[in-house]
Chain A
Amino acid sequence: MRVKIVFNMLGKLLIFVGLTKIFPLLVALLYREVDVLSFLVSLGLTISVGQVMQKFSYSKQEIRHREGFAIVTLGWVLISIFGAIPFMLSGIFDNFVDAFFESVSGFTTTGATVIMSLESLPNSILFWRSLSHWLGGMGIIVMSIAILPELAGSMQLFKAEVPGPVHDRLRPRIKETAKTLWVIYLLLTLAQIIMLSINEVPFFDALIHSFGTLSTGGFSSRTLSVKIYDNLIIEAIMVFFMFLAGTNFTLHYQVLRGNVKALIDNKEFRFYVFLVLTAITLITINLRLQVYKTLIESIRYAAFQTLAIISTAGFATVDYDIWPPFARGILLVLMFIGGSAGSTAGGIKIIRVYALMKKGFQELYKLIHPRAVTSLKIGNRAVSEEVSTSILGFFFLYIVVFVIAAMTLTSFGIDIVSSISAVAATLGNIGPGLGLIGPLNTYVSLPVVGKLLLAFCMLLGRLEIYTVLVFMLSGFWRK
């Protein structure tokens, strides 16, 4: 490990994150809030720590795999810690663990909160929560690659942060690819802000909700979240953009370039649409029969909740915790699946689930035809043995982490449904779960160790397990 270059890069990242605090600072100034001070202090602190780190670790070493993993993992932890400072300074939390939890939840686009009532919060804090979503959604490191010339060629960093088993390049250069991704992201966000504003959502709320949707985070500016508007059109807009956020950004790029056929040909997208439609249909039937009186109402809630969970945004228009077990069961399954690779969504990712399914069927086929030579294909592209093994490994580790974390939670005396859904919701970067941490509740009641564990799960989920776990292996540190 080349420690110097790692620290140098971390310093740069901190300066970068420090500068993003200018935005909530401006919001605080705009609304004339006292929190100007807390943002000013934390901005100064973050930048100076970053400067010091950078200054004392100047190095011309190059970034290899190990350094890439280290920079990304440590970078996210550091960013979360420094992101928590404004919460502490504003006096929203009385302990640092809660502030850290909120901050991690923000940057990893989980949207799990430990704040009971959002209405009492100053606007600048609300804005900072959502901005952290938005920055973390596409990836702070991806953004730095696009902007900082020093990071221009670091495929290692890019790979370690962008979700998905294989990484498509939109442009020959990684910097251009990162830029293109951010531009698409920005465009979609602007589109949603405009559409929400047209439909009479206050501009500030539109901003917050758009940040929460496109990043698939789920922080709202209201305690009741989107439910407060009780407006079909607004919900439809949210559903549409949640769907987009769960789609591979490579496809957005291709559609924007006029290649609509790529969208239809893409197996992952088709499977995504299939999953969404199936889930909506099943939940609608279940709800119509057991909860709501009209079909429209059932579809409305089913569609919103399905998209909110599968895109891992985690918004809620209804307390789905009171829904019948079947509907809740489907939502729990969707928590594991998550969105498409290369989107801002979390979870295992649809392409992996699809590949695993195919692999499973292939094994069955091989039992009947022992001499068959088969190749795993998604669409027309063959999935190499290496990638498919890595997918199997990923799935295994995801489940192992899930089981261990859920068991640990139950050891604190938390009931099994809450434990399972809490881990699924944090590991998949969704936010609200079932039971104790259902859509109307918060994570505030969990013990401190539980919160730290779940914060760790969020990081694991956001960085797709491998990046963080490899960092904790002993072999990683060997010279």
Chain B
Amino acid sequence: MLSLDINFNDIAFGESGCNMTDLLSKLKTVKQDLTSTVTQQALIYGANTIGFKLAQQLTKLSRDVVIIAEDEQRLKRIQEELDVMALVGSGVDLKTLKRARIGKTALILAVSENDEKNILTSIYAHKLGVERIVAQVSDDDYLNNNDFLINTELGIDLLINPEEVVVEQIGDLIRPSMESGIESFIDGKVQISEVTISHRNPFAFNKISQLNLPRNSLIIGVLRRNRLFIPYGEHKLYPGDTIYILGKKGFRTKLGQLLSKNRRKKQKVVLAGGSEINYRLALNLAGKQSILTLIEAKQERCEELAEEISDLLVLNGKAINIDLLKEEGIEQADVFVAAGANDEENLLTGLAAKSLGCKKVITIVNSLEYSYFSEIVDVDTILSPQILVLEKILDFLHQGQVDTETILDGQMHLLKLEVPDRVGRRKLKLKQLKHASDLIIGVVIRDEELIIPDGELRLRVADQLLVFTLTAKNNLLAELFGDV
């Protein structure tokens, strides 16, 4: 309240002193305002859900956003909800791009439904000097992993394919209980991995201090019954806990080896629906320690799939048919993926599979509305390609930015700060710092080198610390170094 007042007064007095120098400086800023370049502008092509959500996120990051799309109605709706400029037109129309001031755009996100237009828009944008380019394509043929062609020649920094993202995600969910590096910082040099502790996991029932973690890694958080806390050495880990491990790039393979010692058993995977996602999933999983079954209603598609993928049992029938599921021993299945064309059917089959005793059920929904159903529908995971694409793009946009960020769905804050000289000179050990239990020092940056510290590390002058906290803190410096 008070601060607002002061603010007001400043403005008012600033304007009231209308002498000549004021006038001149005002004119100058006016000129700057009228001619300055909009460096932060982002251009989005496509007014679908992804375009909308991206625009929403970007405006929150206080960037100028322009959306181009052919669909006027959708644009109108977007403009009513978000503070963005909306232009009717096509991303491949140079006139429209000029109107959107492509020359002042630093980032373009081509996420419309049309692959060709997305690619062409990206190429235009590259030629017109846009620095960062993200394009979404659905067709497999565009992704021949020819990074040179896509990155260097066409200038597309991130080519994203919804199906591929889903398959990747499912792959991570199915494989040993370790999941993907969910967040990465400092240009990917440091990553956080999420590990869910199961009964068979070597970590279960151990104290943290006794864990045989790879060098240079650190547990920064434990999620137990949906509550995140920062553990210390005496905490024990229990089955059902999810732990977040911070480590340098490459540590995940070591961690994977560590965790998968006891997992030699083959997994039984049932895929419902002969969709593109399941096809790719089958391709990925075939022969890799899993027994695959795929259920598809259409005879021709079944034949196609059987021809293309060996090591795959293709069943012709409806996945929603409970007798069929029982017959094929669904109760023994480790993983069930419902990825048919119909969202409702996927949810239902997923539910059926779960109640029949399948251990892990993953349901794919295309409509964004259903992706919030995970609370209501009792399946293990509901995945929406659109949300995954969105997350992936946002991850890409966040790369390299560290200052005051949040991770793990906003549950953890990330702060970067420098060690004050007076502390650095005393070469204190980390464990000598007294602080509340809701923060942990995750990374020490020392002359370009990254150190994942333990309590014995001594601080030096000019060290930078990356601190993970559970609550946002303003006076972190005082808290950490106040009484030393």
In the complex, the answer to whether A155 meets B1 with C-beta atoms within 8 Å is: no
- Indicate whether B169 reaches chain A with its CB closer than 8 angstroms: no
- In the bound assembly, the distance between CA atoms of A187 and B30 in angstroms comes to 8
- Indicate whether A115 reaches chain B with its CB closer than 8 angstroms: no
- Indicate whether A176 reaches chain B with its CB closer than 8 angstroms: yes
- Chain B residues positioned under 8 Å from A55 (CB to CB): 1
Which of A14-22, A121-129, A444-452, A461-469 is the interface stretch? A14-22
- Indicate whether A360 reaches chain B with its CB closer than 8 angstroms: no
- Indicate whether A198 reaches chain B with its CB closer than 8 angstroms: no
Contact with A along B81-100 (1 / 0, CB 8 A): 01111000000000000000
Q: Which of B1, B5, B41, B83 has the most CB of A within 10 A?
A: B83
Which of B58-66, B192-200, B203-211, B247-255 is the interface stretch? B58-66
A19: contacting residue among B8, B34, B85, CB under 8 A = B8
**Distance from B7 Cβ to chain A, minimum over Cβ atoms (Å):** 9
Also in contact, A180 and B34, with CB within 8 A (given A152-B83, A172-B84): yes
In the complex, the answer to whether A26 meets B83 with C-beta atoms within 8 Å is: no
- Chain A residues positioned under 8 Å from B8 (CB to CB): 15-16, 19
- For B30, the closest partner residue in chain A by CB is A183
- Chain A residues positioned under 8 Å from B5 (CB to CB): 15
Contact with A along B47-67 (1 / 0, CB 8 A): 000000000000100001110
In the complex, the answer to whether B9 meets A19 with C-beta atoms within 8 Å is: yes
- In the bound assembly, the distance between CA atoms of A288 and B215 in angstroms comes to 99
- Indicate whether A173 reaches chain B with its CB closer than 8 angstroms: yes
- For B101, the closest partner residue in chain A by CB is A172
- Indicate whether A256 reaches chain B with its CB closer than 8 angstroms: yes
- For A149, the closest partner residue in chain B by CB is B7
- For A54, the closest partner residue in chain B by CB is B1
In the complex, the answer to whether A153 meets B83 with C-beta atoms within 8 Å is: yes
- Indicate whether A356 reaches chain B with its CB closer than 8 angstroms: no
Contact with B along A382-402 (1 / 0, CB 8 A): 001000000000000000000
- Chain B residues positioned under 8 Å from A20 (CB to CB): 12
- In the bound assembly, the distance between CA atoms of A174 and B11 in angstroms comes to 20
- In the bound assembly, the distance between CA atoms of A257 and B101 in angstroms comes to 13
- Indicate whether A285 reaches chain B with its CB closer than 8 angstroms: no
- Indicate whether B33 reaches chain A with its CB closer than 8 angstroms: yes
- Indicate whether A169 reaches chain B with its CB closer than 8 angstroms: yes
B82: contacting residue among A19, A153, A256, CB under 8 A = A153
- Indicate whether A179 reaches chain B with its CB closer than 8 angstroms: yes
Also in contact, A180 and B9, with CB within 8 A (given A153-B82, A172-B65, A172-B66): no
Also in contact, A172 and B34, with CB within 8 A (given A19-B12, A155-B79): no
In the complex, the answer to whether A179 meets B83 with C-beta atoms within 8 Å is: no
Q: Which of A169, A179, A253, A257 has the most CB of B within 10 A?
A: A169
B33: contacting residue among A26, A147, A152, A179, CB under 8 A = A179
In the complex, which residues 422-458 of chain B have their Cβ closer than 8 Å to any Cβ of chain A? none
- In the bound assembly, the distance between CA atoms of A173 and B64 in angstroms comes to 6
Also in contact, A183 and B33, with CB within 8 A (given A20-B12, A147-B11, A172-B64): yes
**Distance from B52 Cβ to chain A, minimum over Cβ atoms (Å):** 15
A171: contacting residue among B1, B59, B85, CB under 8 A = B85
- Indicate whether A96 reaches chain B with its CB closer than 8 angstroms: no
**Distance from A184 Cβ to chain B, minimum over Cβ atoms (Å):** 8
- Chain B residues positioned under 8 Å from A174 (CB to CB): 83
- Chain B residues positioned under 8 Å from A156 (CB to CB): 80
In the complex, the answer to whether B64 meets A183 with C-beta atoms within 8 Å is: no
- Indicate whether A23 reaches chain B with its CB closer than 8 angstroms: yes
- Indicate whether A186 reaches chain B with its CB closer than 8 angstroms: yes
In the complex, the answer to whether A171 meets B30 with C-beta atoms within 8 Å is: no
- Indicate whether B145 reaches chain A with its CB closer than 8 angstroms: no
Interface of A is mostly: helix
- Indicate whether B72 reaches chain A with its CB closer than 8 angstroms: yes
- Chain B residues positioned under 8 Å from A173 (CB to CB): 64, 83-85
- In the bound assembly, the distance between CA atoms of A173 and B62 in angstroms comes to 9
Q: Which of B35, B72, B84 has the most CB of A within 10 A?
A: B84
B85: contacting residue among A15, A169, A256, A384, CB under 8 A = A169
**Distance from B25 Cβ to chain A, minimum over Cβ atoms (Å):** 13
- Indicate whether B143 reaches chain A with its CB closer than 8 angstroms: no
Instruction: Report the interface size for chain A: residues with CB under 8 A from the other chain.
Output: 33
Q: How large is the interface on B (under 10, 10 to 19, 20 to 34, 35 or more residues)?
A: 20 to 34
- In the bound assembly, the distance between CA atoms of A19 and B5 in angstroms comes to 10
- Chain A residues positioned under 8 Å from B1 (CB to CB): 51, 54-55
In the complex, the answer to whether B34 meets A256 with C-beta atoms within 8 Å is: yes
In the complex, the answer to whether A172 meets B85 with C-beta atoms within 8 Å is: yes
In the complex, which residues 5-47 of chain B have their Cβ closer than 8 Å to any Cβ of chain A? 5, 8-9, 11-13, 16, 23, 30, 33-35, 38, 41
Q: Which of A26, A152, A183 has the most CB of B within 10 A?
A: A183
- For B17, the closest partner residue in chain A by CB is A26
- In the bound assembly, the distance between CA atoms of A257 and B1 in angstroms comes to 39
- In the bound assembly, the distance between CA atoms of A54 and B8 in angstroms comes to 14
Contact with B along A128-165 (1 / 0, CB 8 A): 00000000000000000001000011011000000000
- In the bound assembly, the distance between CA atoms of A256 and B35 in angstroms comes to 9
B38: contacting residue among A22, A23, A172, CB under 8 A = A172
In the complex, the answer to whether A26 meets B16 with C-beta atoms within 8 Å is: yes
- Chain A residues positioned under 8 Å from B23 (CB to CB): 190
**Distance from A475 Cβ to chain B, minimum over Cβ atoms (Å):** 19
- In the bound assembly, the distance between CA atoms of A157 and B70 in angstroms comes to 26
- Chain B residues positioned under 8 Å from A15 (CB to CB): 4-5, 8
**Distance from B92 Cβ to chain A, minimum over Cβ atoms (Å):** 19
**Distance from A17 Cβ to chain B, minimum over Cβ atoms (Å):** 11
- In the bound assembly, the distance between CA atoms of A19 and B23 in angstroms comes to 20
- In the bound assembly, the distance between CA atoms of A469 and B53 in angstroms comes to 34
- Chain A residues positioned under 8 Å from B80 (CB to CB): 65, 155-156
- In the bound assembly, the distance between CA atoms of A345 and B30 in angstroms comes to 24
- Chain A residues positioned under 8 Å from B84 (CB to CB): 172-173
In the complex, the answer to whether B64 meets A186 with C-beta atoms within 8 Å is: no
- For A15, the closest partner residue in chain B by CB is B8
- Chain A residues positioned under 8 Å from B83 (CB to CB): 152-153, 155, 173-175
- Chain B residues positioned under 8 Å from A153 (CB to CB): 59, 82-83
**Distance from B465 Cβ to chain A, minimum over Cβ atoms (Å):** 31
B34: contacting residue among A26, A51, A183, CB under 8 A = A183
- Chain B residues positioned under 8 Å from A23 (CB to CB): 16
- In the bound assembly, the distance between CA atoms of A16 and B11 in angstroms comes to 10
- Chain B residues positioned under 8 Å from A175 (CB to CB): 83
**Distance from A108 Cβ to chain B, minimum over Cβ atoms (Å):** 23
- For A253, the closest partner residue in chain B by CB is B34
In the complex, which residues 75-126 of chain B have their Cβ closer than 8 Å to any Cβ of chain A? 79-80, 82-85
**Distance from B74 Cβ to chain A, minimum over Cβ atoms (Å):** 14
In the complex, which residues 176-193 of chain A have their Cβ closer than 8 Å to any Cβ of chain B? 176, 179-180, 183, 186-187, 190
- In the bound assembly, the distance between CA atoms of A55 and B5 in angstroms comes to 12
- In the bound assembly, the distance between CA atoms of A148 and B35 in angstroms comes to 23
- In the bound assembly, the distance between CA atoms of A411 and B66 in angstroms comes to 54
- Chain B residues positioned under 8 Å from A187 (CB to CB): 30
A384: contacting residue among B11, B65, B72, CB under 8 A = B72
- Chain A residues positioned under 8 Å from B33 (CB to CB): 179-180, 183
Please list the 4 inter-chain residue pairs (A to B) with the smallest Cβ-Cβ separation, ordered nearest first.
A153-B83, A172-B64, A172-B85, A19-B12
24 residue pairs of the A-B complex, CB under 8 angstroms, read A16-B8, A19-B8, A19-B9, A19-B11, A19-B12, A20-B12, A23-B16, A26-B16, A54-B1, A55-B1, A153-B82, A155-B83, A171-B38, A171-B64, A172-B65, A172-B66, A172-B85, A173-B64, A173-B83, A180-B34, A183-B30, A183-B34, A186-B30, A187-B30
User: Which of A's residues lie within 8 Å of B, judged by CB?
Assistant: 15-16, 19-20, 22-23, 26, 51, 54-55, 65, 147, 152-153, 155-156, 169, 171-176, 179-180, 183, 186-187, 190, 253, 256-257, 384
User: Which of B's residues lie within 8 Å of A, judged by CB?
Assistant: 1, 4-5, 8-9, 11-13, 16, 23, 30, 33-35, 38, 41, 59, 64-66, 72, 79-80, 82-85
Beyond A51-B1, A171-B38, A180-B34, 20 additional contacts (C-beta under 8 Å) are: A19-B11, A22-B16, A23-B16, A26-B16, A54-B1, A147-B11, A153-B59, A153-B82, A155-B80, A155-B83, A156-B80, A169-B85, A172-B66, A172-B84, A175-B83, A183-B30, A187-B30, A190-B23, A257-B34, A257-B35
